[in-house]
Structure 1
């Protein structure tokens, strides 16, 4: 699907949802997050903000995370949807229009498969790390205010510096 410049499309609850890319004020924290994650990513994994859709077959959904870390081999396939099994982390930067989906639908879907999910809450100046996925969702979470260190568990295993957020 071709979207207008500045917009992305995701499949949410069986519907195509077109939403704008993150606001300008997300640029710096997104870059800082990507750089720190890339430095701690597993070999062969890449941290990206590219507009890529990942298919979650069991949930019959596809999402285009604001930022992701995934096995580079996932991008050697044909087609427009990468396999969500390649993901080691996803991060969503909340906005007024996406906050509900980031905290509910995406949390539910990611929590069954993706090892680490970061919600960068731009409205409340907080970041939450979810980890330990299960068939019922994530088993663990930690929230800190921007400026505080956030422990990011394996497969990353480091403290994220949120000072510049």
Structure 2
């Protein structure tokens, strides 16, 4: 498989069922530095983030950790959350879920167990992060979706999930503070989120 940097690669056909795509995804040998997700009926392979994104992910985790709901864990990294009703499977950059959600032997975690998700955009994932994922996370009832637009250097927090996505959003440029709603009820300082 050849993968091009900063450009997603897709595979799958209209006739593939969601379960078939999940099996294919499980068998896929994804090269180091890439992740695979199921978006709009396709397996999408995209490069991992730029180095400084790690600092941003750690800053988000450090700031939110004291405000986590009881028995919830915040993490970043390659875990696949599935949304069977929407036929999607995402590997969010940052995720918060109850600890029992990960006490399974499957590599497919329940997307509806999430209480918070954050995505850091790249040129290859930005459109999906800003459209498809907003709708799917909202329909699944994820209370808070934080979108860090690394190209435009701004943060948007989505809340009040609904059948069409989210009913509420608030956007601030990097460098300002952004309120993170329930169940966290805290303020996120985005001062150090800009590119070096």
Partner of 2:42: 15
Could you tell me whether the CA contact under 8 Å between 2:64 and 2:186 is conserved in 1? no
Indicate whether 1:153 and 2:181 are aligned: yes
Could you tell me whether the CA contact under 8 Å between 1:53 and 1:63 is conserved in 2? yes
Could you tell me whether the CA contact under 8 Å between 2:35 and 2:48 is conserved in 1? yes
Q: Could you tell me how far 1:50 is from its partner in structure 2? A: 2.2
What TM-score does the superposition give when structure 1 sets the normalisation length? 0.97
Q: Could you tell me how far 1:137 is from its partner in structure 2? A: 1.3
Gaps in structure 2 of 5+ consecutive residues? 1-25
Instruction: Tell me how large the CA RMSD over aligned residues is.
Output: 0.9
Q: How does 1:1-165 map to 2 (within 5 A)?
A: 1=26, 2-112=29-139, 113-165=141-193
Q: Distance in 2 between matches of 1:50 and 1:93?
A: 12
What TM-score does the superposition give when structure 2 sets the normalisation length? 0.82
Structure number with larger C-alpha Rg: 2
Aligned length: 165
Gaps in structure 1 of 5+ consecutive residues? none
Q: Could you tell me how far 1:161 is from its partner in structure 2? A: 1.0
After TM superposition, which residue ranges in structure 1, 4 or more long, deviate above 6 angstroms? Answer: none
